[in-house]
Amino acid sequence: MTAARLLFTKPWIWSFAATVIVWVVTVLFTGGASSLGLSQAALTFAAFSVIVGIGQMFVITLGPGNIDLSVPATMTLSGTLALKLMDVQDGMILVGLLTSILLGFAIGIGNYALIKLLRIPPIIATLSISFIVQSTAIWANRGLRIKPPEVLASFTTSSLFGIPNIAIVALILSVVAWVLLKKTIYGRWISAIGQSTFAARMTGIPVDGTRLVTYILCAVLASICGYLLASFSGGAALNMGSEYLLMSIAVVVIGGTAVAGGNSNIPGIWGASLFMFLVVSMLNTYGFGAGFRLILTGLIIIAVILVAGGRQSNR
Amino acid sequence: MPPHCPAQIIDDVFRMNEITARREMVAARGVKVTFGAVKALDGADLVIHCGECVGLVGHNGAGKSTIVNVINGSLNPHAGEVSYGGATAQHGISTARAKGVRCVFQELSLCPNLTVNENARVMHAELAGWNWRTRAVALVKQQLGEIFPGHGIDCDSTIDDLSIAERQMVEIAISFAGLNEKPKLVILDEPTSSLDAGLAAQLMAYIRKFVGEGGSVLLISHILGEILSTSDRIVVMKDGRVVADRSASEFSTRSLVEAMGNVVREQEWQRAVDKRDGAPVLAMPPRRGHGLAFQAHRGEMIGLAGLAGHGQTETLLDLYLSRNSNWWPARRKDIAFVAGDRSLNGIFPLWSILNNLSIASLGDISSRSIVDHDREGVLGNGWKKRIEIRTPDMENRILSLSGGNQQKVLFARALATTARIVLMDDPMRGVDVGTKQEVYDILRSEAATGRTFIWYSTEMDEIRLCDRVYVFREGAIVAELAGDEITEKNVLEASFSAGEAA
Amino acid sequence: MKISSGTIRLIIPAASLALLLAAVFYMQPRAMSYTGLNLLFNLAVPIALATVAQMLIMAVNDLDLSMGAFVSFCACVTATFLQASPAIGVLIFLGAIAAYAVIGVVIHVRELPSIVVTLGMSFVWGGLAVLMLPSPGGEAPIWARWLMTSRPPFVPMAIVASIVIAAVTHFVIMRSSVGVLIRGIGGNVRSVERAGWSVIRIRAGTYALAGFFAVLSGITLVGLTTSADANIALRYTLLSIAGVILGGGEFVGGKVSPIGAVIGALTLTLAGSFLSFMRISPDWQIGAQGAILIVVLALRLFLNRLEKREKGR
């Protein structure tokens, strides 16, 4: 009884509850035939949202106004450059990954440099950077669509004991992120900054250093996600990141992370990511057109946030 | 005395006349308010008559703010009734305002992005219609001039561009102003917290004038002198109840403090010998090129005195930020800071008491950047006992504590670090007397172990506790007092320049 | 002479716009004509209206991520219902404005983050637009077409309209009582609440007003483009936010400037024209826009610093 009550005070429980309901409704329609395939597909596609979502969550935890809009452009450029560099050679897989990570580093530094030097809100700084990154991707992507190396492509599309490899990667990253958030000094620091930047500064927290690391972390995760997504889908496309702009924010918030900052929630990101994928596939199964699908997706997002409730009052 | 004795009847009639003459402005009777398990008000009575100034004193957590919120309509009591002008009315903010109740809150409640006249528009719904700006300016100007003659505030400037004292003056003026009719009751919650002595005196004089003209004032202040000299009647609250309600002339500072439930401790502080030996642990050249230089030695308790807002806080911030990187984590903490405005820049509201306490010393209780939960708990419990944080569980949220206890957590946060220098930015603002004494004792013992304290305080009693005092005026240090030179007279002399009329 | 901080907030965007305009004239002197100006600022009117709408939402410390989808929706309504049966079109618009008011109420009552609610609404508006116009099409109402292509003497329509928008919104938001209350909510909600105002009503009104300006944006957009599609204005979400910021507005604290917002929208439009004059390869068009955004913001910071130094003296 108390355990159940404790469970229901967790903000992420709602997104999981919604996920289960949507899953059941979809499976019921197909008479249970699709349950395994649907679950695997959900895990795979949710994994991509989870990876970018975690990065976005770290940034959002830094407090009001902190957001990274360069996520989609970073994903696109990372996927494009990595595939180009690897050039279908299996031996280059690690080099490609390393390049992606370095690219994320550079973009993260660029983002924070702009925020700090020009003293502009992150939303505008990351937006400006994303324009430049996107242009670079367009320029780099010219020519033929390059396939990923064979080994990498099969790794990203296969499963281990029925669980997609991508989902396992996302799970490992989630655990690392969870430890980072809940157990380390860094986790305490970003939460403190999110609640009151000035108070954080006056307790001796290196605020700028911590924020820089956070923006780098977000860009690196976006890069890794772009690398994996391009390999998974058999090549990089210029619009491959675009749906992740809204998605990365949506999964963080639906997952129960406080938009006001200071409070973050990793299990919720999983719930929200699975939920977002399942909603779309449910509507597809029921044969709704694109218009209805969009409307229902929107209404469900609003319904979830209404049920999950607003930010808790301070007292 | 026999029941029908003429003298008794005359006396009764006289009393009744007195009662009818002194009409009730507002009466709250048997009010109960609970927040969760906490009884904020437990059957409190507060009656304010027309034409009187009522002083309201009590600890933090005694229920002062709660009863103010009940009277001004923003809080619905769970039991009891509130009546305005003798008639029970519907409860709510608009009802209270319609009955002429105005409120000046402790935390400044103007819109910082609006101009003075626009703020007047927000506060006064009756300023509607064309040309309201001109009327708003006239209204505020006239009222400001009446309360604070010679203020020099431009009514077209944005609140952001004003100093804190000016903002408080504007807020007070807007609350006292009335377009069609003057307010009947003005509630002032710590109105002089940002005003210097001269402005505070002007305000107190105006309160007497306002009361003389038939208005009512509810004055809340921790400066007992203000309460004693300005109020007609003083109400003392404790634990959500009214424990004393008598004419102001029947109280003295001592009896007031006793009524609040605190025993005044005698000054038992003996100054040690001059500790200025060896190299200073902290030094700063004169600010902006004038005044005296700043120096602090090991084990010293240094006071920063002077009128509020004359550069003391800025000095502390400069000292702190110059020793603390914004980019790299410090290997060893050598300086700590205790914030004064705890809700704004001290506490982390989402966290537990324990996390709030340990945030500055995480480096000492972690290995390989992973925080050790057990060591954190030991640290927390140690300080809970040492500084007497009143909570059943250190895992409770920080906001479950009263203001004074939150402040103790901030002290513990700084003292728990390895820092040898502790900066304090008027940390005792709005803290009850009992808490203060407890903290003073701890500061003394810490100083004895060689810690250096640099303490900005607006209260003379605290300045007297220091070994050495720097007096600030207009952003610079103008005097240095040591040992027996630290007297109220010397500090005041240095705080006011010779050519200035205080 | 004491300059108010509001005035300073205006000088910086105006200077940025003037500088950009000078650069365009220097590169392409022929732009310095009636037709040239008309071409340069042609698309500014709908962007300016959307920016004003976004500014209203930002004045109460919220952010509308559905602005682009909503303007697209309005454009689709204009090109279909408003053109074919004006009465139904007007009813739809009234309903949409009411929906905006409801969103404002929901956000306020449930203390929800506006970003998420409007994020959800962006899907809803987008879906409705797709239902109405699954493929690009429709037709502009004749009067909208006439309004947007009319050629007043001496000054092109785009500039006249921008000035009118700036003047009207400046009066409503900076001078009127309603505007004071809207900005008051952004500055300090509790203060407005304690003064006895109904914050929920003001918020609903603010959202409705924003919805109204966004509707105008959709109508003027179709007046310019003659037809519509469901994705016609998706980039307006980010453009409108950038416009408010360029115009000196801030995300929190109710610090906004309608004149600045219109100037910001003009600057963004001009940046697009500027790039095509520079004959920049299409690959780098978006990137160059980002670079211009950065340069303008750097300029603003520089001027801000200069001004602060002056003040400090």
Q: Chains touching chain A at 3 or more Cβ pairs under 8 angstroms?
A: B, C
pLDDT reported for residue B274: 63
| Residues B381 and B249 both lie in one domain | no
Residue C312 lies in a domain: no
pLDDT at B346 over 90: no
- Tell me which chain B residues have a C-beta less than 8 angstroms from the C-beta of C192: 111, 122
- Exposure letters A2-29 (e unless 16+ CB within 10 A, then b): eeeeeeeeebbbbbbbbbeebbeebbee
Residue C117 lies in a domain: yes
- Can you tell me the distance from the alpha carbon of B221 to that of B218, in angstroms, rounded to the nearest whole number? 10
Residues B37-58 have pLDDT tens digits of 567 788 888 999 989 999 998 7
Q: Of the candidates B259, B291, B312, which is a domain's last residue? A: B259
Interchain CB distance below 8 Å, A185 and B362? yes
Q: What's the CA angle centered on C33, arms C27 and C34, to 5 degrees?
A: 140
Residue in C with minimal Cα distance to B156: C4
Of C5, C195, C254, the CB nearest to B123: C195
Interchain CB distance below 8 Å, A196 and B345? yes
Structure tokens at C307: 């001004």
pLDDT reported for residue B307: 67
Q: Does C192 touch chain B (CB under 8 A)?
A: yes
Separation of CA C250 from chain center: 14
Structure tokens at B65: 């703010």
Q: Which residues contact C196 (CB under 8 A, 6 or more apart)?
A: B93, B94, B97, B125
Range of the domain at B113: 24-259
Interchain CB distance below 8 Å, C287 and A313? no
Residue B7 lies in a domain: no
Residues B191-201 have pLDDT tens digits of 887 788 888 88
Least confident of A220-224, B249-253, B402-406, C20-24: B402-406
pLDDT reported for residue B266: 42
Q: Is the C-alpha dihedral spanning C124, C127, C131, C134 positive or negative?
A: positive
Least Cα distance to C76 among C217, C241, C240, C265 occurs for: C217
C-beta separation of B359 from A203 below 8 A: yes
Residue C295 lies in a domain: yes
Least Cα distance to A141 among A209, A75, A63, A200 occurs for: A75
| Residues B365 and B255 both lie in one domain | no
Compute how many other C-beta atoms are within 10 angstroms of the C-beta atom of residue B125: 15
pLDDT at C210 over 50: yes
Residue B355 lies in a domain: yes
Q: Which residues contact C128 (CB under 8 A, 6 or more apart)?
A: A291, A295, C73, C76
- Can you tell me the distance from the alpha carbon of B301 to that of B454, in angstroms, rounded to the nearest whole number? 6
Residue C25 lies in a domain: no
Residues B68-100 have pLDDT tens digits of 888 888 888 888 888 888 777 677 888 888 888
Interchain CB distance below 8 Å, A209 and B326? yes
The H or E element that residue B249 is part of is: none
Least Cα distance to B215 among B74, B70, B48, B96 occurs for: B48
Which of B 189-208 lie inside 8 A of A, CB atoms? none
pTM for this prediction: 0.76
- Exposure letters C270-305 (e unless 16+ CB within 10 A, then b): bbbbbbeeeeeeebbbbbbbbbbbbbbbebbeebee
pLDDT reported for residue B61: 59
pLDDT reported for residue B372: 86
Cα-based distances in Å from C262 to A192, C166, C236: 38, 6, 14
pLDDT reported for residue B485: 82
Residue C27 lies in a domain: no
- Tell me which chain B residues have a C-beta less than 8 angstroms from the C-beta of C174: none
pLDDT band of B500, cuts 50, 70, 90: very low
Interchain CB distance below 8 Å, B132 and C177? yes
Q: Does A204 touch chain B (CB under 8 A)?
A: yes
Least Cα distance to A97 among A111, A115, A114, A78 occurs for: A78
Q: Does A256 touch chain B (CB under 8 A)?
A: no
Least Cα distance to B401 among B358, B360, B352 occurs for: B352
pLDDT reported for residue A238: 82
Residues C221-252 have pLDDT tens digits of 999 988 898 888 888 888 898 888 888 887 77
Q: What is the least distance, in Å, from the CA of C307 to any CA of chain B?
A: 14
Q: What is the mean pLDDT of residues B323-334?
A: 76
Residue C111 lies in a domain: yes
pLDDT at B105 over 70: yes
pLDDT reported for residue B205: 93
Interchain CB distance below 8 Å, A203 and B360? yes
Interchain CB distance below 8 Å, A135 and C297? no
pLDDT at C295 over 90: no
Exposed/middle/buried for B497, CB within 10 Å: 0-12, 13-18, 19+?
exposed
Residue B81 lies in a domain: yes
- Can you tell me the distance from the alpha carbon of B361 to that of C239, in angstroms, rounded to the nearest whole number? 45
- Tell me which chain B residues have a C-beta less than 8 angstroms from the C-beta of A215: none
Note the helical H segments in A142-289.
150-157, 165-183, 185-195, 197-202, 207-232, 243-254, 266-285
Least confident of A43-52, A139-148, B267-276, C62-71: B267-276
**In B71-171, where do the E strands start and end?**
79-84, 87-88, 101-104
C-beta separation of C256 from B113 below 8 A: no
Mean of all residue pLDDT scores within chain B:
81
Residue B5 lies in a domain: no
pLDDT at B224 over 70: yes
Compute how many other C-beta atoms are within 10 angstroms of the C-beta atom of residue B121: 25
3-state secondary structure of A210: helix
Give me the residue label for tokens 């005070």: A9
Least Cα distance to B115 among A184, A54, C6 occurs for: C6
| Residues B47 and B180 both lie in one domain | yes
Name the percent of chain C lying above pLDDT 90.
Answer: 39
Q: How many domains is chain C partitioned into structurally?
A: 1
Residue C218 lies in a domain: yes
Amino acid residing at B128:
A
Interchain CB distance below 8 Å, C113 and A297? no
Most confident of A30-39, A267-276, B21-30, C302-311: A267-276
pLDDT at B17 over 60: no
Q: What is the least distance, in Å, from the CA of A301 to any CA of chain B?
A: 26
Residue B420 lies in a domain: yes
Q: Of the candidates B259, B274, B307, which is a domain's last residue? A: B259
- Can you tell me the distance from the alpha carbon of B452 to that of B26, in angstroms, rounded to the nearest whole number? 50
C-beta separation of B418 from B332 below 8 A: yes
Q: How many domains is chain B partitioned into structurally?
A: 2
Q: Chains touching chain C at 3 or more Cβ pairs under 8 angstroms?
A: A, B
Least Cα distance to B232 among B420, B79, B55, B85 occurs for: B55
Compute how many other C-beta atoms are within 10 angstroms of the C-beta atom of residue C235: 13
Interchain CB distance below 8 Å, C187 and B112? yes
**Full strand arrangement of the beta sheet holding B79-84:** B38-49, B24-35, B79-84, B87-88
C-beta separation of B44 from B34 below 8 A: no
Residues of C with CB under 8 A from a CB of A: 65, 106, 110-113, 115-117, 119-131, 134, 238, 241-242, 245, 250-252, 283-291, 293-294, 297-298, 301
Amino acid residing at A247:
M
pLDDT reported for residue B128: 80
Residue C248 lies in a domain: yes
Interchain CB distance below 8 Å, C177 and B128? yes
Domain segments of chain A as ranges: 12-24+35-308
Which of B 139-158 lie inside 8 A of C, CB atoms? 154, 156-158
CATH code of the domain covering residue B98 = 3.40.50.300
Collect the ranges in chain A with pLDDT lower than 70.
1-11, 32-33, 143-144, 259-260, 308-315
Structure tokens at B466: 């220091």
Exposed/middle/buried for C95, CB within 10 Å: 0-12, 13-18, 19+?
exposed
Residue B276 lies in a domain: no
C-beta separation of B55 from B233 below 8 A: yes
Residues B123-179 have pLDDT tens digits of 888 888 878 888 888 889 999 999 998 888 888 888 887 887 888 899 999 989 887
Q: What is the mean pLDDT of residues B279-286?
A: 80
Least Cα distance to C235 among C51, C111, C26, C19 occurs for: C51
Of C123, C125, C242, the CB nearest to A124: C242
Q: What is the least distance, in Å, from the CA of B115 to any CA of chain C?
A: 9
| Residues B28 and B162 both lie in one domain | yes
- Tell me which chain A residues have a C-beta less than 8 angstroms from the C-beta of B37: none
| Residues B103 and B199 both lie in one domain | yes
Range of the domain at C95: 5-20+33-304
pLDDT reported for residue C96: 96
Residue B19 lies in a domain: no
Give me the residue label for tokens 């902190």: A66
Q: Is the C-alpha dihedral spanning B109, B111, B112, B116 positive or negative?
A: negative
Q: Does A294 touch chain C (CB under 8 A)?
A: yes
pLDDT band of B234, cuts 50, 70, 90: very high
- Can you tell me the distance from the alpha carbon of B395 to that of B391, in angstroms, rounded to the nearest whole number? 9
Amino acid residing at C188:
N
pLDDT reported for residue C69: 93
Output DSSP code: residue B242: E
pLDDT band of B2, cuts 50, 70, 90: very low
- Can you tell me the distance from the alpha carbon of B219 to that of B187, in angstroms, rounded to the nearest whole number? 6
Mean of all residue pLDDT scores within chain C:
86
pLDDT reported for residue A221: 95
Q: Does A116 touch chain B (CB under 8 A)?
A: no
The H or E element that residue B468 is part of is: strand B468-473
- Can you tell me the distance from the alpha carbon of B50 to that of B214, in angstroms, rounded to the nearest whole number? 6
